[in-house]
């Protein structure tokens, strides 16, 4: 009798594990597919989906993506993460474009204990004091000081102005880090103007900045807004140059801004389809992107969407399990993983360490003009 | 908070303010007309504004129609949408409590916004500005593009035309009569539903014109672009005295002026631009609850 029970038990165990092997590993994606940040979110999702088609399985189990739109809205972002965890029971989550959205979603994931891999949310607060939030991108202090150093040292600009979206954590953070670094390098901030997300008229702020005659204006905006700012600045006769952060890195900026974006500079991740010596992962990514989306240029968002997936799968492989806590532990020891945007190491604060790229818009095209290594 | 404003800079700010304010005013008129007649805040108005901008985008960028034709198509399209909103969402509720119509208005607004996300996609799209309107020139130290003059000019012309229509024509008389007393007007043999439809058509056409000019000035269209301007225009309408057409224009201009000048005079406080607008609204409601031009409560249109 006892032996029979044992046999039944073993059989149950085997079928149980057999079921587990068939069960796909579910990776949730929450990103902005509509709303203000839709351009960036959409590209990141396409990057993630491209990565899935190249790495369809890990540990012998199929990977399945569950995609939820956070509508570029903080409340929706929290709801999206709650849905992924409670209803879809995902093992790990990827997302999102937009630091404010990442912070809103991060709270939910933290409580539930599911690891999240951020794509392009670069505000330090996203991973601060978080056990479960990681990110495939570097953070704003690094980016802000890189931008300030480039403006001050390489371009030899001594007077800068700022135009900041006060309703956006990313913009406020990046603007402050630029300001601190620029001042500590010896530069002067001649004007600091503010606006609110959703504003479409910037003429008053720009007229004020023009009167202060800066060499360069740092504009840590999202590109859809940034392009409109650049247009209005040129209409008002602004001669100074503009510089932005990674959120300006989107092929659509030229379509939206036209001639006005000529000469615009921005810091970004070290990937661009126009860059000369690409690493092998970037080469492969560019090729498969062009095969899958022939009428669309890849950009850093697509690359980071791809990288986030690569980092999560790498962690699952090293953990040897799809258990959310084990994935989390494995993510913590991520070191020198080859990704599209360079060798990625996740540091003690769960932020990626990698190179910083500088891009300039020339003749209506993005030109990758160099990298700065930390 | 050093205030040092040269004359040139002040003029530049003034022109910016008139450009922005006249657009607010043009949108505000739609709110004020519908409110004057039906005592209803038509929350879908900002979305009709958005549809106007989208239609002109599709007509000129997608289907490459010439500008004049594109504008006419867009205005006609938005007018039809305005009429549909009235027919579907408001007319069945004509005799219902006012709060029902208000909730219906909010519902329609959400419906149009989300339908637009599905139909047009959530991505912002660039609007092509006719180069002729964008050739910058300077007068003294003030820099101008022809568009900056054209926007207020068209807005004022529209208001003048509308005032003529309301105060000098038969349908205008009927509109003013409805705003006094719907039932008596009906007894006089006026087709009330038709006149109300006409009001919606006019308001929507003006919103479409404003939407088109907005899209030219801030050359990007997206499904939620109507929310903030619609909201600001609503403040402008209340500020000017809701129900009064000249009041709406005056309210719009004042709001544009306050928004721009608060930044011009207090650059450090540029992040509080919207707060200035609301402080203005609170002040006027405290001092003169009917708004700037809303004194004759009985003669509202």
The CATH number of residue A258's host domain is: 3.40.50.2300
Query: Is pLDDT at A22 greater than 80 in this prediction?
Result: no
| Beta-strand relationship, A25-31 and A92-94 | parallel
Interface test with A, best of B1, B3, B12 (most A CBs within 10 A): B12
Domain membership flag for residue B256? yes
Average pLDDT over every residue of A91-97: 94
Is the model's pLDDT at A254 over the cut of 80?
A: yes
Report residue B92 as tokens. Answer: 């069945």
* H or E element in which residue A243 lies: strand A241-244
Looking at the fold, whether A8 and A129 belong to one and the same domain comes out as yes
Number of domains in chain A: 2
Does A205 lie in the same domain as A170? yes
Same structural domain, A50 and A65: yes
Residue B254 covered by a domain? yes
Q: Find the largest Cα–Cα distance for chain A.
A: 93
**Cα distances (Å, whole numbers) of residue A94 to A24, A105, A216, A328:** 16, 11, 35, 13
State the pTM of this model. 0.76
Q: For A37, what's the count of Cα atoms within 13 Å in the CB-facing half-sphere?
A: 31
- A217 and A365 inside one domain: yes
pLDDT given at position B292: 84
The reply to whether B84 falls in a domain is yes
Structural domain that includes position A47: 2-139+280-354
Residues 6+ apart with CB under 8 A from B285: B238
* A367 vs A281: CA distance, rounded Å: 20
Give CA torsion, residues B193, B199, B202, B208, to 10 deg. -100
Give chain B positions within 8 Å (CB) of A211: 6, 9
Q: What residue numbers bound the domain in which B200 lies?
A: 7-299
Q: CA dihedral in degrees (A23, A25, A30, A31; nearest 10)?
A: -120
Chain A CB contacts of B264 below 8 Å: 204, 207-208
A180 lies in the same domain as A131: no
| CB-nearest partner of B218 from A35, A195, A201 | A201
Q: Is B31 a member of any domain?
A: yes
Q: Which of B203, B233, B222 is nearest to B57 (CA)?
A: B222
* pLDDT for residue A39: 84
Q: Is residue B108 helix, strand or coil?
A: helix
Question: Which residues of chain B are within 8 Å of residue A166 when distances are taken between CB atoms?
Answer: 271
Per-residue pLDDT band at A253 (split at 50, 70, 90): confident
Mean pLDDT of chain A, nearest integer? 89
pLDDT digits (tens, 9 = 90+) for A315-367: 999 999 999 999 999 999 999 999 999 889 999 999 998 888 899 999 888 88
Same domain, A61 and A49: yes
Domain with residue B157: its CATH number is 1.10.3470
DSSP-assigned beta bridge partners for residue A64: A26
Tell if the CB–CB gap between B271 and A39 is shorter than 8 Å: no
CA distance A242 to A179: 14
Flag if B273 and A195 touch (Cβ within 8 Å).
yes
pLDDT of res. A17: 47
| A9 band by pLDDT with thresholds 50, 70 and 90 | low
- The number of folded domains in chain B is 1
Residues from chain B contacting residue A196 (CB–CB below 8 Å): 271, 273-274
Asked if residue A83 lies in contact with residue A105, where contact means CB atoms within 8 angstroms, the answer is no
* Residue B124 to residue B270: CA distance in whole angstroms: 25
Q: Which pLDDT score is estimated for B300?
A: 47
Count of CB atoms situated within 10 Å of the CB of B244: 27
In a domain, B291, yes or no: yes
**Same-domain pairing of A108 and A9:** yes
- The alpha carbon of residue B125 is apart from the nearest alpha carbon of chain A, in Å, by 7
Residues 6+ apart with CB under 8 A from B181: none
Cβ-based neighbours of B281, under 8 Å, separated by 6 or more: B235, B238, B239
% of chain B beyond a pLDDT of 70: 96
**The pLDDT value given to residue B125:** 86
* pLDDT at B73 > cutoff 90: yes
**Which of B260, B267, B269 best probes binding to A when mutated, by most A CB atoms within 10 angstroms?**
B267
What is the distance between the alpha carbons of residues A334 and A312, in angstroms, rounded to a whole number? 10
Distances (CA, A) of A174 to A139, A143, A245: 9, 8, 8
Q: Strand A365-372 and strand A356-362: pairing?
A: antiparallel
What percent of chain A is predicted at pLDDT more than 70? 94
Token output for A57: 């399985």
Number of H helices, E strands in chain B: 12, 4
CB contact at 8 A, B145 and A235: yes
Our CA-based measurement puts residue A39 at a distance from the nearest CA of chain B, in whole angstroms, of 6
DSSP A218-234: E----HHHHHHHHHHHH
DSSP assignment string, A138-159: --HHHHHHHHHHIIIIIS---E
Contact status of B225 with chain A (Cβ, < 8 Å)? yes
- A213 and A166 inside one domain: yes
At residue A1 the predicted structure's pLDDT band, cuts being 50, 70 and 90, is low
How many residues appear in chain B?
Answer: 301
**Residues A266-305 pLDDT 10s:** 998 888 887 877 889 999 999 999 999 998 889 889 999 9
- The average confidence (pLDDT) of chain B is 89
User: Which pLDDT belongs to residue A123?
Assistant: 86
Q: Cβ distance A223 to A43 under 8 Å?
A: no
Contacts of A258 in chain B (CB under 8 A): 126
Q: What is the mean predicted confidence (pLDDT) over B60-89?
A: 93
Of the partner residues B117, B229, B271, the one whose CB lies closest to the CB of residue A166: B271
CA distances from B219 to A277, B22, B127 (A): 37, 17, 5
Nearest to A307 by CA among A137, A183, A150, A165: A137
pLDDT reported for residue A58: 93
Please give the pLDDT value at position A4: 56
Residue B29 φ/ψ, nearest 5 degrees: -60, -40
**pLDDT: is A218 or B8 the higher one?**
A218
The answer on pLDDT for B299 being more than 80 is no
Q: Cβ separation of A235 and B134 shorter than 8 Å?
A: yes
Whether A211 and A151 map to the same domain: the answer is yes
Residues of A with CB under 8 A from a CB of B: 33-36, 38-39, 42, 71-72, 164, 166, 191-196, 198-201, 203-205, 207-208, 211, 224, 227-228, 231-232, 235-237, 252, 255-256, 258
Mean pLDDT over residues B50-63, rounded? 92
- Which chain A residues are within 8 Å of B222, Cβ to Cβ? 36, 224
- Shortest Cα distance, chain A CAs vs residue B182, angstroms: 39
The residue among A63 and A197 whose pLDDT is bigger is: A63
Is residue B101 predicted with pLDDT exceeding 80?
Answer: yes
Nearest to A201 among B20, B220, B267 (CB): B20
* Interface touch A203/B16, C-beta < 8 Å: yes
Same domain, A109 and A170: no
| CA distances, B44 to each of A19, A41, B104, B222, B252 (Å) | 52, 28, 10, 16, 19
CA distance A200 to chain B (A): 6
Record: contact B219-A200, CB cut-off 8 A:
no
pLDDT at A11 over 70: no
- Shared domain for A18 and A135, answered yes or no, is yes
Task: From B206, B190, B210, B202, select the one nearest B165 (Cα to Cα).
Answer: B202
Which residues of A fall within a CB distance of 8 Å from B273?
A: 195-196, 199, 204
Q: What pLDDT is stored for residue A246 in this prediction?
A: 86
Interface test with B, best of A46, A200, A232, A296 (most B CBs within 10 A): A200
Band (A88; pLDDT cuts 50, 70, 90): very high
pLDDT value at A124 more than 50: yes
Check: CB of residue B72 under 8 Å from CB of residue B80. Answer: no
pLDDT-above-90 percentage for chain B: 55
Q: Is residue B2 one of the residues assigned to a domain?
A: no
- Whether the CB of B1 is below 8 Å from some CB of chain A: the reply is no
| Higher local confidence (pLDDT), A88 or B300 | A88
User: Considering only CB atoms, which chain B residues are within 8 Å of A36?
Assistant: 124, 222, 224
Q: How many CB pairs under 8 A join A and B?
A: 104
Q: Which of A44, A69, A168, A201 to mutate to test the interface with B (most CBs of B within 10 A)?
A: A201
Burial degree of A325 (CB within 10 A; 0-12, 13-18, 19+): middle
Cβ-based contacts of A231 with chain B (< 8 Å)? 219
* B141 reaches A (C-beta below 8 A): no
Please list every residue in chain A whose beta carbon sits closer than 8 Å to the beta carbon of residue B268: 192
Q: Assess B122–A contact: CB distance below 8 Å, yes or no.
A: yes
Joined tokens for residue B268: 């450090």
Band (A373; pLDDT cuts 50, 70, 90): low
Nearest CA in chain A to B10: A207
- What is the arithmetic mean of pLDDT over B88-105? 91
- Same domain assignment for residues A117 and A36: yes
Give chain B positions within 8 Å (CB) of A195.
270-271, 273
B131/A165: higher pLDDT = A165
- Report CB contact under 8 Å: A235, B122: no
* Average confidence (pLDDT) over B127-152: 85
């Amino acid at each position: 009798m006892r032996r029979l029970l044992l046999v039944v038990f073993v059989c149950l165990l085997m079928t149980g594990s057999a079921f587990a092997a068939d069960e796909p590993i579910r990776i949730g994606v929450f990103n902005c597919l509509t709303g203000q940040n839709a351009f960036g979110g959409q590209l990141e999702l396409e990057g993630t989906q491209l990565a899935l088609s190249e790495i369809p399985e890990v540990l012998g189990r199929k990977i399945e993506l569950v995609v939820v739109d956070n509508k570029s809205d903080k409340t929706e972002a929290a709801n999206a993460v709650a849905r992924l965890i409670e209803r879809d029971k995902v093992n790990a989550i990827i997302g999102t474009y937009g630091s404010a959205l990442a912070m809103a979603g991060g709270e939910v994931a933290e409580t539930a204990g599911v690891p999240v891999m951020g794509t392009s949310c670069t505000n330090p607060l996203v991973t601060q004091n978080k056990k479960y939030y990681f990110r495939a991108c570097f953070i704003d202090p690094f980016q802000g000081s890189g931008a300030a150093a480039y403006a001050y040292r390489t371009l030899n600009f001594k007077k800068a102005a700022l135009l900041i979206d006060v309703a956006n954590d990313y913009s406020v953070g990046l603007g402050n880090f630029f300001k601190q670094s620029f001042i500590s390098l010896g530069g002067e901030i001649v004007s600091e103007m503010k606006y609110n997300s959703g504003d479409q008229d910037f003429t008053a702020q720009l007229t004020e900045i023009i009167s202060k005659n800066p060499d360069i204006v740092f504009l840590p905006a999202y590109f859809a807004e940034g392009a409109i700012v650049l247009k209005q600045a040129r209409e008002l006769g602004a001669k100074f140059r503009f510089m932005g952060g990674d959120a300006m890195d989107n092929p659509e900026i030229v379509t939206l801004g036209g001639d006005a974006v000529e000469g615009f500079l921005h810091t970004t991740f070290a990937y661009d389809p126009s860059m000369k010596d690409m690493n092998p992962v970037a080469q492969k990514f560019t090729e498969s992107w062009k095969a899958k989306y022939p009428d669309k240029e890849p950009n850093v968002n697509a690359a980071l969407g791809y990288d986030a997936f690569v980092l999560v799968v790498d962690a699952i492989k090293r953990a040897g399990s799809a258990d959310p806590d084990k994935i989390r532990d494995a993510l913590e020891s991520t070191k020198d993983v080859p990704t599209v945007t360079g060798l990625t190491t996740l540091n003690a604060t769960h932020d990626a360490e990698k190179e910083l790229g500088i891009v300039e818009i020339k003749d209506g095209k993005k030109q990758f003009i160099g990298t700065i290594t930390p | 908070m050093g205030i040092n404003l040269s004359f040139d800079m002040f003029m530049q700010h003034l022109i910016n303010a008139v450009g922005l304010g006249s657009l607010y005013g043009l949108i505000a008129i739609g709110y004020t007309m519908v409110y004057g007649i039906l005592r209803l805040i038509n929350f879908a108005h900002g979305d009709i504004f958005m549809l106007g901008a989208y239609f002109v985008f599709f007509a000129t960028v997608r289907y490459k129609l010439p500008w004049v034709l594109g504008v006419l198509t867009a205005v006609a399209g938005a007018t039809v949408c305005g009429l549909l909103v009235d027919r579907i969402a408001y007319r069945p509720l004509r005799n219902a409590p006012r709060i029902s119509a208000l909730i219906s208005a909010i519902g329609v607004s959400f419906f149009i916004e989300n339908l637009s996300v599905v139909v047009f996609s959530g991505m912002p799209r660039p609007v092509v500005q006719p180069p002729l309107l964008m050739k910058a020139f300077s007068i003294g130290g003030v820099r101008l593009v022809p568009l900056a003059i054209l926007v207020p000019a068209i807005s004022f012309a529209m208001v003048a035309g509308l005032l003529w229509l309301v105060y000098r024509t038969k349908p205008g008389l009927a509109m003013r009569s409805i705003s006094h007393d719907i039932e008596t007007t009906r007894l006089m043999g006026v087709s009330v539903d038709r006149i109300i439809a006409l009001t919606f058509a006019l308001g929507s056409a003006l919103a479409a014109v404003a939407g088109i000019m907005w899209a030219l000035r801030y050359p990007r269209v997206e499904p939620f672009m109507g929310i903030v301007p619609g909201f600001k225009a609503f403040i402008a309408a209340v500020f000017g005295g809701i129900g009064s057409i000249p009041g709406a224009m005056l309210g719009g201009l004042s709001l544009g002026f306050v928004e721009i000048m608060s930044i011009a005079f207090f650059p450090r406080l540029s992040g509080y631009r919207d707060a200035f607008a609301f402080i203005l609204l609170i002040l006027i409601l405290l001092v003169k609850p009917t708004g700037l031009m809303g004194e004759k409560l009985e003669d509202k249109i």
